[in-house]
Amino acid sequence: MSGRSVVVTGGTGALGSAVVEAFLAAGDRVVVPWIVKEEVERARRAWAQALEAGRARLVEADVAEAEGAARAVEAAGDVAVLVNGVGGFAGGSSLDETPLETWDLMYRMNVRTAAACARAALPRMRARGAGVIVNVASAAALAPPAGLTAYAASKAAVVALTRALQEEAAGDGIRVAAIVPTTIDTPANRAAMPDADFSRWTPPAKIAAVILWLASDAASPLRGALLPV
């Protein structure tokens, strides 16, 4: 697995940073696009050694835009793995109380980012005859709860994107998969749901291990897989 070129979007967030650390520990080179200054400062401190050695690279880029996605992929060069980890959550109200702007936001954060980055990475993966794309969906996409219509619909679109893209790219040696997490044990989720049973939530490092496995040769038989975590 060593020495691959990997792009992890959302890599400065709670789940994304765990994913970056998993790939770095496996010996890979990781490019992380960013737009949140507070998050990138933490990343610079956490990955100082890897950044200095050139094994990690931070690129300021809005990956919801074609230019930003292309910039991140270009920085990775011969990209072997793309993890579409950037995303967002908004919900907690019924459909008739959810502004249409929230639908636009959820689509932009959860679907457009994944589509833009995959679109940028595919030509390079096709040229090398191999590649892995891992998307991040949600259990809400498969069993949508009341009050989360915009979020659930956007993550359902990620599921559809995963399977459709696998059909398009399978003949080029490219594998596409998605993880389907329930609640992830992050500081933000704990703050939002202080009375929840945190023991039932999954730590980011464990999810990162699943993503690392999906990107490995051991997972090569999987095509369009949706893995609940």
Choose among 175, 157, 184: nearest CA to 224.
175
Residues 44-52 have a mean pLDDT of 96
| Closest listed residue to residue 107, CA positions, set 178, 161, 60, 168 | 161
| End-to-end alpha carbon distance in the chain | 23
User: Above pLDDT 70, what percent of the chain?
Assistant: 99
Sequence-separated (6 or more) residues with CB below 8 Å from residue 103: 150, 153, 154
> Given this model, what pLDDT does residue 39 score?
92
Among 28-42, 109-123, 181-195, name the one with the lowest average pLDDT: 181-195
Q: Is pLDDT above 50 for 86? A: yes
Domain at 61, CATH number: 3.40.50.720
**Alpha carbon distance 183, 213 (integer Å):** 20
pLDDT band, residue 100 (cuts 50/70/90): very high
Domain around 58: 5-228
Catalytic residues: 151
Which residues, in sequence order, are bridge partners of residue 29? 5
Q: Residue 1's pLDDT is what?
A: 43
Q: What digits encode the pLDDT tens for the residues 123-180?
A: 999 999 999 999 999 999 999 999 999 999 999 999 999 999 999 998 999 999 999 9
Across the chain, mean pLDDT equals 95
Distant-in-sequence, close-in-space partners of 94: CB < 8 Å, separation ≥ 6: 146, 147, 149
Instruction: Pick the more confident residue, 194 or 83.
Output: 83
Q: Among all chains, which residue has been given the structure tokens 């920085």?
A: 75
Mean pLDDT of 34-50: 94
pLDDT of 192: 81
Domain count, the chain: 1
Q: What pLDDT shows up at residue 216?
A: 96
Percent of the chain with pLDDT strictly greater than 90: 89
- The pLDDT value given to residue 2: 56
